[in-house]
Structure 1
Amino acid sequence: MKSRSFLSFVLLVSGVTTLMAQNVSTRTNEFEVDFSDPKKLVSTTIPVINWVTPVAETNYAQENKYKIKVEVESDKPIKSITIYVKEDEAAASRGMTSMKPDAGQELKMVVEKSITLMEGENLLEVVAENTDGQKTISYRKVHVGSTGLADAGKLDRTDYALIFATDQYDNWSDLVNPVFDSKTIAEELKKTYGYKVEVIENASQSDVLKKMREYAEKKYKPLDQLFIFFAGHGTYDQTFGEGFVVTKESQLNDEAKTSYLSHNRLRSIVNNVPCEHIFLAMDVCFGGTFDAALASSRGAGAEEVYKEQGQAEFITRKLTYKTRRFLTSGGKTYVSDGIPGKHSPFAKNFLEALRSRGGKDGVLTLPELYTYVERLKIQPRFGEFGDNAPGSDFIFVVK
């Protein structure tokens, strides 16, 4: 993600006779600070590199001609921006180009270049230096060629699914299909799409929150996805103006609603899980009250885009933006649990979408998935929440 903040160092140097250069590393950037002139380091600012294109750290392209665009900002005037093309970080440069800012661009410089890459793996290295001699280095990988594009499984990414299913309650009436629905969906996700799936049956509110904490403490890569599914009872309180997930031990007449898991709390917890791409689906009564601003726009279909690019490139494009999307089996309404052993209406159509395998391209997007569930008698609700970015999506990729 882009960051427009500056990393400032305030260094107090006294009684030092010999100083060496120091590197400070993050996931995508390496900062090189020159300590040879202490006078410059009383207060200095590291240049910030923002990638406009490509955003993802690993990218796939069919053509050798590749366009990049970066923005560089610095509190101190920019001295130069240099672009290197390498096989890897340790290899010698295959080529380079260096640019200096024009008048008026000393503090913010935008660079757009079309670069010729070789077949196979290419490392793009951008080095931004300011007039104090402080450098920022940032990288992007680009795989070129139809062979790499043909196998989307080579992408450095993992899909996770966390499924909560409750059909046995201490105080509410038991249900017949949530566990059956959830296990069937879990099997389809594992078998067809290669998801790492965990199904939690008949959980208490404490069990749900502990499991959510576990997933919030995982380490996720930029293209990883997390699918969260709830199946069971839900309720809505008109006075509080809020919906709730009913957990195993929830009280039947709980005026304070402390024994329920509120949508507000759930929304906040899910939004703060450090996975860039999260899709929440809820097959519960009053699930649509998860978000007050409901959106049911299907958006543009994916097929026309896919025809112009390889599968792996399409996937990285779809997962460029942070995703916080939800789909519920209904709005501010009760929904059917279905006939025993026959799946709930929502689960049945959700499974139908998964079993479509995304059509010819083998990639099922959220707009495509929604076309299967929107036919239901009780209208599902599709929207966004939290830090969702415009243009985001969530995908199911056939393995």
Structure 2
Amino acid sequence: MKASIYTLLLCLTFIASAQIVSSRSNEVQVDLKSDLHASYAQIDWISPRLEYTNSEEKKLEIKANIMSTNPLESVTLHFKRKKDGEPIASRTAYIEDEHNTNFDLTLRMQDGDNWIEIVAKTTTGGITREYRNIKVGMDAIGDAVMADRQDYALLFGINKYDNWSDLVNPVFDVEAIGKELEERYGFKVEIITDANQDMVMTKLREYAQINYKPQDQLLIFFAGHGQYDDVFGEGFLVATNSLRNDVSKNSYISHNRIRSNINNIPCEHIFLTMDVCFGGTFDPLLASSRSAAYEETNDREYLVRKLSKKTRKYLTSGSKEYVSDGVAGSHSPFARNFIEALKSNGGDDRILILSEINAYMERLKSTPRFGAFGHDENGSDFVFIAR
């Protein structure tokens, strides 16, 4: 095929970024003719984030931030059909800021293997090379993580109530969690504050109408008041307009309704988290932890296996009890530990899974409940892939 069909689309834009993450594909070379104490640029891949991915689309967005302590001499992107082959197309970044630059462009690819290489050289002779391999075509879908998969987060935080006492931390908590999910894990985040009953259900309906891809994930988080009714034998979420003495509970949002509506959202992988009182009454089932078989597989194989199983998992603060809202401006105990888990990046493999989050939660005095609901499949998981 002629090289001309591999055209670079869109213009290159340059955006500074303070986040630095080194990939396992990173290769560092030293020019011995230069300073032996050369420093090396670091490349933060935004898209695609994983070393080996798959795409059904012929056009794929490539985004990467390049940062260096010493001035950058050159930064070049090569498009290849083989990792060690000759470039079919190349693009050199214009370095406006000598310590930072950015690639933001779209590549048109062909079926099979497509290799993207970024080479960053500093003025002291340090050379950093990083690769991404994208397989294109239906034949490759079964054994690769899709490059165009998307993680979503819908976060509800309610501080102000018409008929209940106001809280101090739910909005603060979901804003902090949303920031970690967006910046650290690349989630598309939406935060809804002080929602009434209709706003909550309307927003859930909106997310049920998204055209999710098979490996997309959805995290739903509720923070606010919760209540348990001994007569109905059921827990409820309290909306901003819920009545204090509502015997019929028509102004509340029942766990049963939440469970049913979320279970029917057409996203294969859903994780529901509730930092509310009596949240543990949501479901009696307990979830399994990460399989020991993970040690026998690489990261990509593990992700493919987990993202092929339908996920309906939940995590609640406490069980059938009241839980603390915390001190103003310092997060609730549940949110604080959840944020700590997110900041851990999941360890060296940079894959955070639910059993690792649960390990942080077990430190709390009021032990959270961790379980499954609806159409959950055995062996499923919800994964947070750090950039």
TM-score normalized by structure 2?
A: 0.64
Q: Give the match for residue 333 of structure 1.
A: 321
Q: Does residue 1:257 correspond to 2:256, yes or no?
A: no
Partner of 1:386: 374
* Structural mapping, 1:82-231, within 5 Å: 88=111, 121=135, 139-141=138-140, 155-231=147-223
1:317 offset after TM fit, Å? 1.7
Spell out, residue by residue over 1:37-69, the C-alpha distance to the aligned partner (whole angstroms, 9 max, x if none).
xxxxxxxxxxxxxxxxxxx9979xxxxxxxxxx
Match of 1:47 in 2: none
Q: Distance in 2 between matches of 1:239 and 1:120?
A: 56
- Name the count of aligned residue pairs: 262
CA root-mean-square deviation: 2.4
The answer (yes or no) to whether the contact 1:294–1:381 under 8 Å persists in 2 is no
CA distance in 1, matches of 2:318, 2:186: 28
Residue 395 of structure 1: how far off its partner (Å) = 0.5
After TM superposition, list the pairs within 5 Å mapping 1:22-41 onto structure 2. none
Write the distance in 2 (CA, Å) between the matches of 1:294 and 1:343.
Answer: 28
Say if 2:155 and 2:220, in contact at 8 Å, map to a contact too.
yes
> 3-state SS of the aligned residue for 2:348?
helix
Residue equivalent to 1:298: 289
Q: Give the 3 Å change call, closer, same or farther, for CA 230–143 of structure 1 in structure 2.
A: closer
Give per-residue Cα distances to partners, 1:213-252, cap 9 Å, x unaligned: 1000000000000000000000000000000000000001
1:343 matched to which residue of 2? 331
* Structure 2 unaligned spans of 5+: 1-52, 57-109, 113-132
Structure 2 counterpart of 1:273, which letter? I
Task: Tell me the CA shift for residue 315 of structure 1.
Answer: 1.7
Give the match's secondary structure for 2:207: helix
**CA offsets 1:172-230 (integer angstroms, 9 cap, x no match):** 00001000000000000011001000000000000001101100000000000000000
Q: 1:347 to 1:301 in 2, by over 3 A?
A: farther
Amino acid at match of 2:285: L
Question: Match of 2:383?
Answer: 395
Query: Which structure has the larger Rg?
Result: 1
- Contact 2:280–2:320 under 8 Å retained in 1: yes
Deviation at 1:298, TM superposition (A): 3.3
Write the distance in 2 (CA, Å) between the matches of 1:120 and 1:202. Answer: 42
8 Å CA contact retained: 1:296, 1:381: no
SS at structure 2 position matched to 1:383: strand
Secondary structure of 1:187 counterpart: helix
| Aligned-partner residue type, residue 150 of structure 2 | T
> 224, 235, 245: which is aligned to 2:227?
235
Matched AA of 1:322: K
2:122 matched residue in structure 1: none
Instruction: Work out the percentage of aligned pairs sharing the same amino acid.
Output: 55
Contact 2:288 / 2:379 at 8 angstroms: preserved in 1?
no
TM-score by length of 1: 0.62
Superposition deviation, residue 374 in structure 1:
1.1
Partner Cα distance (1:142, 1:247) in 2: 42
Distance 1:282 1:237 in 2: 17
State how far apart, in whole Å, the 2-side matches of 1:325 and 1:370 are: 12
* Kept after mapping to 2: 8 A contact 1:302/1:365: no
What amino acid does structure 2 have at the position aligned with 1:287? G
CA distance 1:161–1:302, shift in 2 (3 Å): farther
* Runs (5+) with no aligned partner, structure 1: 1-55, 60-86, 90-118, 124-138
Determine the C-alpha separation between the residues in 1 that align with 2:291 and 2:162: 44
Give the Cα separation in 1 of the matches to 2:155 and 2:321.
Answer: 22
Q: How far is 1:122 from its partner? A: 7.2
Q: Distance in 1 between matches of 2:362 and 2:316?
A: 11
Matches within 5 A, 1:10-89: 88=111
> 8 Å contact 2:159–2:171 — kept in the other structure?
yes
Asked if the contact 1:287–1:328 (Cα under 8 Å) also holds between the matched residues in 2, the reply is yes
Question: Is the partner of 1:141 in helix, strand or coil?
Answer: helix
How far apart are residue 342 of structure 1 and its match? 0.8
Partner Cα separation in structure 1 for residue 226 and residue 344 of structure 2: 29
Match of 1:366 among 346, 354, 371: 354
Q: C-alpha separation between the residues in 1 aligned to 2:322 and 2:344?
A: 28
1:88 offset after TM fit, Å? 4.3
Q: Structure 2 vs 1, CA of residues 228 and 256 (structure 1 numbering), >3 Å: closer, same or farther?
A: same
